[in-house]
Structure 1
Amino acid sequence: MTGRWRPRGLRSRLVVAFVLVTVSGAGAAAWSSAGSASAALVTSGEQRLAETVTGQIAAVAPGLTYPPDQDAVERLRVAVGPDTVVTYRDLASADGPDRTTAELRAAVRTGQRLVTQRITADGTAWLLVGTPVMITAVDGTRTPSGIEVYTARDLTSVEQQIDGMARAAALTAGLALPLAVLLALLAAASVLRPVRDLRDTARRLAAGDMAARSQPQGVDELADLTVTVNEMAESVQASMAAMQRMQVDARRFVADVSHELRTPLSTLTAVVEVLGMSADGMQADARESAELAIVETQRLVRLVEDLMEVSRFDAGTAALRIEDVDVAVAVRDCLRARRWLDQVDVDTPAALRARLDRRRLDVVVANLVGNALRHGAPPVRVAVQAVGGQVSIEVTDSGPGLPDHVLPHVFDRFYKADAARTRTPGSGLGLAIAQENAKLHGGGITATNRSGGGARFVVRLPAGERG
């Protein structure tokens, strides 16, 4: 793996962050405590050793002769202990290693006071103590005697205690880890519970359950978010309810208007037919007006019929009248009834039978072929075949095809690719009605463009019966 691992889930991030903060805090506190204790321990150890050396010197110093001889220097060295060097001018004790540093000697001689220094020699920590021996007069005045005592004390025991404190600090941080994980899981659970509730509510809303709500818990930001989501759901539910009422009202209006228009349109159609039969004897202007009235009346009749058909689909009252149909014969009859046989190339098998609604099949074929003849270019071709237990009817033309922005909307109601074509013979419902009829059979229609140019509509209908 080239990248570093990162926690992905919210729970993982919360747990990791909580554990890191807790363990880091515990570790920092433990190390800080250990550091303070170690410093105090070192200071205490140095003070205790210095006091011990001072006491040892004070016990022997009154019995020394001044100026001291070699014997007095040796007796003082023995009294202070091993690893000690006593000097007086040119005299120096003869036994014991001299660990004294030049810095320590200079500090003692310059300050005429006790001086300590820590060093490490041969892997061992040492405390060097250097002090002058003072002569106290009867009046209490203190004067340097010229005798200097330098001794070294092993700090191994102190270092071991410091190491023990460091191990204890590390152990404390380690013991805090499982507790931190447990606390993090509990905290994450309490934080994520309302988040999961919101997620479940959002999924129910997305699935269409507009009554889904989450119960706010507490008074924190998540509770505010829950209230906001509930308010949003209320608003969406109200909007959808209003929209559904408007859709129902619009469908009822269309159905009522279409129904009410049928009677006057029947009368108007009869009048127009009479007008058409007498148009030949009219003057040119009157004949043109009569022909326009005939065309517009026929268009209005088709629009009303399409609206009534759409209202039946919307109301769920459209039903199939299934019968045994020879699809090839039904397609040819559809084209023959509309006088399209000489304009359309038909490729059908000798016999292809299926259980379909013949009238609705006729509507589907008529709408697709009529659309190809109006908006495409010849040759228009209809091919019928059986494909895997389905009936496939393919209608193609050789026109410019369907623009990319039209394809997603080609089956929408009242949709026209060219907004300027407001007076075309079609109602804008033909393809939508064809799709609804195909779906009523349990099939569907797809619209694409041919690779060589032109639009291509493919109807697929189950060959078996559908209730």
Structure 2
Amino acid sequence: MRSLLRFVAPGMRRLRFTGLRVRLAAAFTAVALLASVLASGISYVLLRRVMLQRAQDAVLNDVRATLAQQIPPALPPDVEPLVAASLEDALGSMPGREAVAVTVPLRGETGLPPPGVLDVPVTREFARRAMRGVVFQRVRRHGTPYLLVGARVTGYETTVDEPWRTTPPMVFVSASLRREAADLALFTRTLLIADTAALAAALALALLATGGVLRPVRRLGAAARALGEGRLDTRVRVRGRDELADLAETFNRTAEALERTVTELRAMEAASRRFVADVSHELRTPLTSMIAMTDVLAEEAAEDGGADGGGGAAARLVADETRRLGALVEHLIEISRFDAGAAALVLDDVNVADAVGATLKARGWQEEVAVEGPADLFVRLDPRRFDVIVANLAGNALKHGRPPVSLRFGRPEGEGAGGVRVVVADRGPGLPADVAPVVFDRFVKAEAARTRSEGSGLGLSIARENALLHGGTLEAANGPEGGAVFTLWLPDGEAEELL
């Protein structure tokens, strides 16, 4: 048993109590236990019946044979005491038995043995039944089973003148069934030991069987996890020709099709990114020249035709649209750098207050945005990319929200990583329900119903990419008093390097 436990224990330690292997092993063991208990129960019932029947038949046959031998068919007068003594000697001489002969009273009354003569007391009902022949019953007294037998001979001849002088006595015999009970107890213990051994063997076999069945399932699970992690070349070895082998073949075919599809999609995505990057770079040079020329034309038209001249208005419109197209191209180039993984950080110790002030001043927003934060907060980050993030957040609040627009910065509360936390809020209508989940996606605009808007739909996406490049976060939500609230957190660059 100890060797079996040493074999089973390691497997049990590896099992999860809610795993498939545990359930299969439990079901297998339960079936084996049910079969073993059912077989043991049937065996016990049959053996008990046979043993008790054999002991009962032995006592009854002995009583009948003794009565036939000791009581002749023709009884002489006054032989009842002699016959009673002979019957008691013959029936009570065997171990575990007690016998008593009782005189049959006149007028049909029932005779009872004196108290304490037999191990089992005799009831009047039992004695009344014994008047008609041989009767028996099994009783238990003080924890010990007994077989109680009562008998009276009826087939005999009496004297004609005085029949009461030739009446044979009644006989009561108590036979102990202690030996049969001990044998049944031993048999019960044997069955319990056998059931325990069968249960342990069934558990060991269940663990072996379920281990062999679930091993391919575990391989499939590991392969599926690897496939989900991006290792598309993962395959499983096909063994056998059963249902698990069919499942493995299906998995391999699915993985192969998925690898082929993902490879094609990646190639198409890389080609589209290269196309956007190439087109953006090709447009950059002519757009720079166009912007310069349209600015000159706008100035000349304004000098020749005046501020209200039609040519001046057209020239200014062309200049504005050209600058807008140039900004879109710059954004596309920036996005292409993120997609290609070419974006890199140039970290420096930055005074956040000075950096925020410079960003707003460069764009003429210092009077429109209320800034609040400590003047001596230094964080190690990329100043150019921080400028892009702050400019996009403040510009978005000014374009789509309503004043007052606030920008608060400081150390994050409860953040062990340190860094800087920037919150930009406005009092506008806030983010629509359909825009809030995708506000950082590319080319998403709050005023999507309009055919044309000033923004490119890339500003917030670029801001979030820059935040992620720092290892930080950028989140959007609606404020409790209305308006959109954008929360930026950037970790300290020195902390990142120490990690």
TM-score, structure 1 as length reference: 0.76
**Residues 1:168 and 2:176 aligned together:** no
Structure 1 pair 217/125, CA: closer, same or farther in 2 (3 Å)?
Answer: farther
The equivalent of 2:276 in structure 1 is 254
Whole-angstrom distance in 1 between the partners of 2:18 and 2:100: 66
- What SS does the aligned partner of 2:79 have? helix
Separation (CA, whole Å) in 1 of partners of 2:493 and 2:188: 84
Aligned equivalents of 1:54 and 1:221: distance in 2?
70
Structure 2 unaligned regions, length at least 5: 1-15, 93-98, 158-165
2:211 maps to: 189
Counterpart residue number, 2:151:
130
Structure 2 vs 1, CA of residues 122 and 224 (structure 1 numbering), >3 Å: closer, same or farther?
same
Pick from 326, 335, 358 the counterpart of residue 310 of structure 1: 335
Cα shift readout 1:169-217 (whole Å, capped 9, x = no counterpart): 3343344443344334434433443444344334434433333444455
Q: Compare the two structures and name the one with the higher strand fraction.
A: 1
Q: Is the 8 A contact 1:23 1:173 kept in 2?
A: yes
Matched residues in 2 for 1:323 and 1:453: separation?
36
Closer, same or farther: CA 305–65 of 1 in aligned 2, 3 Å: closer
Contact 1:15 1:181 in 2 (8 A): yes
Match of 2:57 in 1: 47
Indicate conservation of the 8 Å contact 2:84/2:102, yes or no.
Answer: yes
Q: CA deviation at 1:129?
A: 5.4
Structure 1: which 5+ runs fail to align? 1-5, 137-144
3-state secondary structure, aligned to 2:485: strand
How far did 1:240 drift?
3.1
What is residue 211 of structure 1 aligned with on the other side?
233
Q: 1: CA distance between counterparts of 2:246 and 2:428?
A: 59
Counterpart Cα distance in 1 of 2:129 and 2:348: 123
Q: How does 1:97-116 map to 2 (within 5 A)?
A: 99=122, 109=132, 115-116=134-135
Q: Greater shift after overlay, 67-76 or 433-442?
A: 67-76
Aligned-pair CA distance for 1:456: 3.4
SS in 2 for 1:152: strand
Q: Which has the larger displacement, 318-327 or 202-211?
A: 318-327
Which residue of structure 2 lines up, in the alignment, with residue 375 of structure 1? 400
Distance 2:259 2:44 in 1: 62
Shift of 1:159: 3.6
Is 2:431–2:477's contact at 8 Å kept on the other side of the alignment? yes
> Is the aligned partner of 1:365 residue 2:384?
no
Counterpart residue type for residue 390 of structure 1: G
1:66 matched residue in structure 2: 74
Q: 2:368 aligns with which of 343, 351, 373?
A: 343
Residue 136 of structure 2, aligned match among 94, 117, 126: 117
CA distance in 1, matches of 2:184, 2:345: 93
Assess if the C-alpha contact under 8 Å between 1:86 and 1:147 holds in 2: no
Structure 1 residue 266 displacement after superposition: 4.4
The aligned counterpart of 1:152 is 173
- Residue 141 of structure 1 is matched in structure 2 by none
Residue pair 2:80, 2:169 contacting (<8 A) in 1 also: no
Moved more, 450-459 or 304-313: 450-459
Partner of 1:28: 38
Residue among 27, 30, 48 paired with 1:38: 48
Shift of 1:33: 0.7
Match of 2:320 in 1: 295
SS in 2 for 1:81: helix
Q: Tell me the CA shift for residue 285 of structure 1.
A: 6.5
Cα displacement string for residues 417-461 of structure 1 (whole angstroms, at most 9, x for unaligned residues): 342144111111111112223343444434344444433334444
What is the TM-score when the length of structure 2 is the normalising length? 0.72
Matching residue's letter, 1:190 = G
Structure 1 residues 453, 94: CA separation in 2 closer, same or farther (over 3 Å shift)? Answer: closer
1:56 and 2:60 correspond: no
> In structure 2, how many angstroms separate the alpha carbons of the residues matched to 1:135 and 1:391?
122
Deviates more, 1:409-418 or 1:124-133: 124-133
Given that 2:135 and 2:150 are in contact with CA atoms closer than 8 Å, whether structure 1 keeps it comes out as: yes
Q: Judge conservation of contact 2:430–2:484 (CA < 8 Å) in 1.
A: yes
Query: How far 1:38 sits from its partner (Å)?
Result: 1.2
Percent identical residues? 40
**Residues 9, 74 of structure 1: CA spacing in aligned structure 2 closer, same or farther, 3 A cutoff?**
farther
Partner Cα distance (2:429, 2:112) in 1: 119
Cα separation, partners in 2 of 1:331 and 1:75, compared to 1, 3 Å = closer
User: Is the Cα contact below 8 Å between 2:75 and 2:156 reproduced in 1?
Assistant: no
Task: Kindly report which structure 2 residues correspond to 1:271-286, keeping only aligned pairs within 5 A, or say none.
Answer: 272-273=294-295, 275-277=297-299, 279-280=301-302, 281=305
Matched with 2:5 is none
Q: Which whole-Å CA distance do the structure 2 matches of 1:446 and 1:290 have between them?
A: 40
**CA distance in structure 2 between the aligned counterparts of 1:266 and 1:60, rounded to whole angstroms:** 140
Cα contact 2:59–2:175 (8 A) shared by 1: no
* Equivalent of residue 419 in structure 1, options 427, 430, 448: 448
Name the counterpart of 1:438: 467
What is the number of equivalent residue pairs in this alignment?
448
Residue 244 (structure 1) aligns with:
266
Mapped partners of 1:229, 1:132: distance in 2: 88
1:305-344 CA-partner distances (Å, limit 9, x unpaired): 2111111121122344556666545444433333333333
1:428 aligns with 2:463: no
